[in-house]
Amino acid sequence: MKKIRVSLRVNGRIFTLETDPNRRLIDVLREDLNFTGVKEGCGIGECGACTVLMNGKPVNSCLVLIGQAEGSEVVTIEGLKGKNGELHPLQEAFIEAGAVQCGYCIPGMILSAEALLQNNPHPTEDLIKEAISGNLCRCTGYRQIIDAVKIASKKIARKE
């Protein structure tokens, strides 16, 4: 198959690669660019483990063909850390709330929450539930995750 040339910005760095057009964004992120914080669960758009931000919106990277990501701005969990490697307020809050068990769903969960907080720094509980409704967690029962997003919202407000 004829390869295509794709450029995209991931976590602030521009990457240009020649690749098969039928490859998925998740595979390029994990295999070519080594952003292994992106997780694959179902591979069919059901679980949200592969969630990344694309142009500020959460997407299932298992459903995005690499050509669709041309010119886009992608953020993975690795892109949330601060300049000196410090944790993002959402990461701190997930630890404080005990919202991480096996951890497999957490990168996607945090990125969905990040998209929410960027648009609405003070969301209601219903909006938090809606924002993470595409992210399945088989360990925590969700309560601690919702609490973590509320804690992060307060942390971010204190920094403003």
Closest to ligand FES by CB, 50 vs 80, is 50
Helix, strand or coil, per DSSP, at residue 29: helix
Strands 13-19 and 4-10: antiparallel
- The residue within the footprint of ligand FES, chosen from 9, 15, 19, 43 (CB under 6 A), is 43
**Other beta carbons within 10 Å of 101:** 14
95 near ligand FES (CB under 6 A): no
70 near ligand FES (CB under 6 A): no
- The residue within the footprint of ligand FES, chosen from 5, 138, 143, 154 (CB under 6 A), is 138
140 near ligand FES (CB under 6 A): yes
- The residue within the footprint of ligand FES, chosen from 66, 75, 93, 105 (CB under 6 A), is 105
Closest to ligand FES by CB, 30 vs 88, is 30
Dig out the tokens for 116 from the structure.
Answer: 């929410």
Encode burial over 50-76: b for 16+ CB neighbours within 10 A, e otherwise: bbbbbeeebbbbbebbbeebeebbbbb
